[in-house]
Amino acid sequence: MSTTLFDLTGRTALVTGSGQGIGRALAGGLAAAGARVVLNGRTAARLEQAAADLRAEGRTVDVLPFDVTDHAAARAAIDGYEAGTGPIHICVNNAGMQHRGPLEDFPAEAFEKLLQTNVASVFHVGQAAARHMIGRGEGKIVNIASVQTALARPGIAPYTATKGAVGNLTRGMATDWARHGLQCNAIAPGYFRTPLNQALVDDPEFTAWLEKRTPAGRWGNVEELVGACVFLASAASSFVNGHTLYVDGGITASL
């Protein structure tokens, strides 16, 4: 199979939440595959540093800060980029947050914030990008789900609910937009070493449990998500739609 199927030269990819962690790794991987990448996040300094690092590697990078939980702001930013710079061919909805606590005491305001950050943002940004993609008859949307799209564990029930919603919203996007030439899929990471998971990484008891529970026997490294993202962003996945690809070391395959 020709590697040109995975070549993203001439494509532009917007990655939300790409100042650090998974989003930063995915942006770097897409750029390495030839894409122009558009970084998005809440912390301008972090975005500028990520952009500078990528440019130092010879990548073409733009920074597009906007609040992914604000429907009007997301649409204005994406419309403005399309009008002023060019088309966004790939939209990676990565922005997300976590809040841990027992369900019976879980703060209502924290639940609402999870819904806005993890679910509503996928709708806001995905819809704004898809409006342009539909007009061109092509486009790639990659939503970042989670192992919690399929599984639950104590203390994160609301997060689990949001990631289940991301999986089903992805199916809905494919159902509505495949006929317009879009491929809408999701990547469901298992347990990766990221700032979001740092408290768990630093917990020897949890790490021991995870290593025993995961067939691969270890935490994932964020670079191991790049291949899945490049596949779903490229011509190689032209007939893949509504799919959630688990990249989890086998944790969802084993009791």
As annotated, the active-site residues are 159
Closest CA to 90 of 33, 141, 132: 141
**72: CB partners within 8 A, 6+ apart:** none
Q: How far apart, in Å, are the Cα atoms of 140 and each of 37, 136, 188, 214, 235?
A: 14, 12, 17, 30, 9
Residue written as token pair 């809440």: 42
Q: How far apart, in Å, are the Cα atoms of 89 and each of 46, 47, 198, 215?
A: 24, 21, 32, 36
Q: How far apart, in Å, are the Cα atoms of 53 and each of 10, 61, 229?
A: 21, 10, 20
Reading phi first (left if > 0) and then psi (alpha if -120 to 50, else beta), residue 15 is in beta
